[in-house]
């Protein structure tokens, strides 16, 4: 008989002794606990009481050091009657100051805002409360001169009462209304201290006066000074050429070392083919404001401005036989068209009385002014009129009377400016003008003493690239590159 195969028994793996592993882990943990107890409770220098004592001693707190060392807390004697008890120092000085409790509310002036609207509608004050603040503020600032972007701050105490109102007039001026403990309001105005220094600027015309001033690294707002002051003598469209030079000494105002703004131009010169023109700022004794005079004491101001606005170019000159660009018929152009962006301010060319102000057919929005000695001027195509003026109102020379537009028969924004003498049209660019009032004889010595240093200093202001191209004279005979294509 075949033998039966013997059944083999497989050896099972030996199971780990879990009890033995748990015991080992317990021993390790116990050892760690004992080490930590030794380090933090019993070992000198590292125990918690020792560490607290060292920290307290380092900070100068002897009482805390005593407590940390296990000493009894020192007793504090009660203050006797009549002895001031020193209160504990507050952790937050701002919160402890009664003037700084409550909250601040900040905002800024937006389009169409008035102080009344801001205080009542936006900040929720009552009309009497707002009126009291506005009346107090009006003693320190012109309330009509608020501008979009100016900022303000209001402080409310914990009861919601306004205790302070601050209004930032400019970067250097702030008006402030404060409520005293009795509920009364007082106002003050603070002006930051600034530093004014006269600086020299000079340059040579290369492509335009605008670009040349920009090339000096100065703000191009200085171009406006030349146009404003020399507008009586220079037409900066046809009288300026490549190679002309300019010099000026202007006040620069600084706030905390940062340039803030320009002050008065103390002395200026423009030199070119049309001549040399200088202007010096001087305030006559007793006068409320200064004016500009040449070195002889003659007024820079004249009876008529050579140009009544800061324009881009002359789009059409005086021409009695011109073909009208819209009607396509020969119709005399009895004035000069000055192209400029819509909204450019238009000045009164001379002092006088407004005789017409309104819509006038193809002239669009139009203003007419009657001047002395039989002169009159007309300004056409305005986008809008200057507010606050009306027929019969007298305006001064260089007062803004309106703004450039293209109302009426116009192909683009421009000012049509015409002049009449004794009822007849004359070319505005050929008017011979008389000067304004010069320095009084009694003030001549004071004037000469005032400008003496400026005359010398102005002459020494360097200009760059002053060599005049030989082609300029030839170009001028044909109208000149400037008169054909360049703006001031």
Q: Domain end: 191, 223, 256, which one? A: 191
- Short-list 234, 247, 302, CA closest to 482: 234
Task: Indicate whether 156 pLDDT > 60.
Answer: yes
Which string of b and e fits 384-415 if b means at least 16 CB within 10 Å?
A: ebbeebeeeeebebbbebbbbbebbbbeebbb
Number of domains in the chain: 3
Contacts of 330 (CB under 8 A, 6+ apart): 321, 322, 323, 324
Q: Using 50, 70 and 90 to split pLDDT, how confident is the model at 485?
A: very low
Position 20 pLDDT exceeds 90? no
- Whether residue 181 sits in one domain with residue 120: yes
- The answer on pLDDT for 69 being more than 50 is no
Instruction: Tell me the pLDDT tens digit for each residue of 195-228.
Output: 999 999 999 998 888 888 989 999 888 888 887 7
Q: Highest mean pLDDT range out of 312-316, 323-327, 435-439?
A: 435-439
pLDDT of residue 423: 87
| Mean pLDDT computed over 181-207 | 92
Same domain, 269 and 418: no
Task: Say whether both 401 and 464 belong to one domain.
Answer: no
Domain end marker among 430, 457, 474: 430
Is 50 exceeded by the pLDDT of residue 448? yes
| pLDDT band with cut points at 50, 70 and 90 for residue 19 | low
CATH code, domain with 395: 2.70.70.10
Q: Does one domain contain both 359 and 423?
A: yes
Task: Give the CA radius of gyration of the chain.
Answer: 41
pLDDT value for 70? 43
Residue 259 CA to residue 27 CA, distance in Å, equals 77
435: confidence class by pLDDT, cuts 50, 70, 90: confident
319 shares its domain with 374:
yes
Domain holding 476, by residue range, is 195-302+437-483
Q: What is the pLDDT of residues 368-390, one digit of tens each?
A: 999 988 899 999 999 999 999 99
Whether 42 shows a pLDDT value over 80: the answer reads no
CATH of the domain at 149: 3.10.450.350
Handedness of CA 90, 93, 94, 97 (dihedral sign): positive
Residue 331: per-residue pLDDT: 63
- Is residue 131 one of the residues assigned to a domain? yes
405 and 447 both lie in a single domain: no
Return mean pLDDT, the chain.
Answer: 79
Q: pTM score, two decimals?
A: 0.56
- On whether both 426 and 327 belong to a single domain, the answer is yes
Split at pLDDT 50, 70, 90, the class of 57 is: very low
Of 9-13, 120-124, 293-297, 399-403, give the lowest mean pLDDT range: 9-13
358 in any annotated domain = yes
Looking at residue 407, what is its pLDDT? 95
Residue 111 lies in a domain: yes
Q: Do 182 and 208 belong to one domain? A: no
Half-sphere exposure of 58 (CA within 13 A, CB side): 6
Q: Does a structural domain hold residue 373? A: yes
Q: Is 213 exposed, middle or buried (0-12, 13-18, 19+ CB in 10 A)?
A: buried
Using the predicted structure, report yes or no on whether residue 239 has a pLDDT greater than 80: no
The string of pLDDT tens digits covering residues 327-347 is 555 567 889 998 889 999 999
146, 134 Cβ separation under 8 angstroms: no
Strand-pairing partners, residue 432, are none
**Whether pLDDT at 230 is above 90:** no
Half-sphere exposure of 318 (CA within 13 A, CB side): 13
Instruction: Answer yes or no: is 74 within a domain.
Output: no
Average pLDDT over residues 88-103: 51
Average pLDDT over every residue of 254-272: 92
Let me know if residue 10 belongs to a domain: no
Average of pLDDT values for 431-437?
Answer: 79
Question: Per the domain annotation, does 67 fall within a domain?
Answer: no
Q: What mean pLDDT is predicted for residues 160-170?
A: 92
Residues 417 and 459 in one domain: no
In a domain, 40, yes or no: no
Question: What is residue 240's predicted lDDT score, i.e. its pLDDT?
Answer: 80
Please state which of the ranges 10-24, 235-249, 276-290, 406-420 shows the lowest mean pLDDT.
10-24
pLDDT-derived band at 433 (thresholds 50, 70, 90) equals confident
Separation of alpha carbons 436 and 301, rounded Å: 5
Report the pLDDT averaged over residues 4-31.
Answer: 59
Does position 238 have pLDDT exceeding 80, yes or no?
Answer: no
Same domain for 343 and 413 = yes
Residues 387 and 400 in one domain: yes
Q: Which has the higher per-residue pLDDT, 211 or 14?
A: 211
**pLDDT tens per residue, range 109-136:** 999 889 999 999 999 999 999 999 999 9
Same domain, 456 and 361: no
The share of the chain scoring above pLDDT 70, in percent, equals: 73
């Amino acid at each position: 008989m075949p033998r039966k195969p013997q059944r083999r028994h497989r050896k099972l793996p030996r199971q780990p002794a879990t009890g033995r592993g748990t015991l080992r882990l317990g021993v390790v943990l116990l050892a760690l606990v004992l080490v930590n107890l030794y380090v933090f409770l019993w070992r000198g220098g590292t125990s918690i009481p020792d560490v607290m004592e060292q920290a307290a001693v380092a900070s100068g707190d002897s009482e805390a050091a005593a407590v940390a060392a296990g000493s009894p807390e020192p007793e504090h004697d009660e203050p006797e009657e009549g002895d001031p008890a020193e209160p504990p120092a507050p952790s937050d000085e701002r919160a402890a100051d009664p003037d700084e409790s409550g909250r601040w509310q900040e905002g800024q002036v937006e389009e169409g805002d008035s102080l009344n609207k801001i205080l009542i509608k936006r900040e929720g004050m009552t009309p009497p409360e707002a009126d009291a603040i506005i009346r107090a503020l009006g003693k320190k600032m012109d309330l009509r001169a608020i501008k979009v972007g100016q900022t303000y701050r209001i402080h409310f105490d914990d009861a919601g009462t306004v205790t302070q109102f601050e209004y930032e007039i400019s970067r250097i001026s702030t008006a402030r209304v404060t409520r005293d403990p009795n509920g009364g309001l007082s106002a003050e105005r603070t002006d930051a201290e600034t530093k004014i220094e006269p600086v020299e600027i000079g340059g040579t015309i290369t492509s335009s006066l605008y670009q040349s001033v920009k090339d000096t690294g100065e703000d191009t707002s200085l171009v406006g000074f030349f146009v404003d002051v020399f507008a009586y003598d220079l037409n900066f469209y046809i009288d300026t050429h490549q190679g002309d030079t300019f010099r000026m000494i202007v006040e620069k105002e600084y706030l905390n070392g940062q340039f803030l703004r320009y002050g008065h131009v103390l002395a200026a010169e423009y030199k070119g083919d049309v001549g040399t023109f200088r202007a010096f700022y001087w305030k006559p004794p007793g006068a409320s404001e200064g004016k500009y005079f040449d070195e002889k004491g003659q007024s820079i101001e004249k009876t008529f401005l050579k140009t009544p606005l800061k324009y881009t170019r002359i789009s059409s000159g005086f021409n009695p036989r011109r073909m009208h660009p819209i009607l396509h018929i020969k119709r005399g152009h009895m004035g000069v068209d000055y192209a400029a962006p819509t909204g450019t301010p238009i000045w009164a060319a001379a002092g006088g009385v407004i005789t017409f102000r309104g819509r006038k057919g193809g002239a669009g929005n139009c203003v007419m002014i009657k001047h002395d000695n039989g002169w009159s001027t007309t300004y056409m195509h305005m986008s809008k009129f200057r507010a606050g003026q009306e027929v019969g109102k007298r305006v001064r020379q260089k007062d803004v009377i309106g703004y450039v537009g293209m109302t009426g028969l116009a192909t683009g924004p421009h000012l049509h400016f015409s002049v009449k003498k004794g009822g007849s049209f004359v070319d505005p660019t050929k008017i011979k003008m008389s000067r304004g009032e010069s320095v009084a004889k009694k003030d001549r010595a004071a004037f000469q003493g005032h400008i003496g240093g400026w005359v010398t200093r102005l002459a020494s202001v360097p200009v760059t690239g002053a060599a005049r191209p030989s082609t300029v004279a030839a170009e001028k005979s044909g109208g000149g590159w400037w008169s054909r294509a360049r703006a001031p």
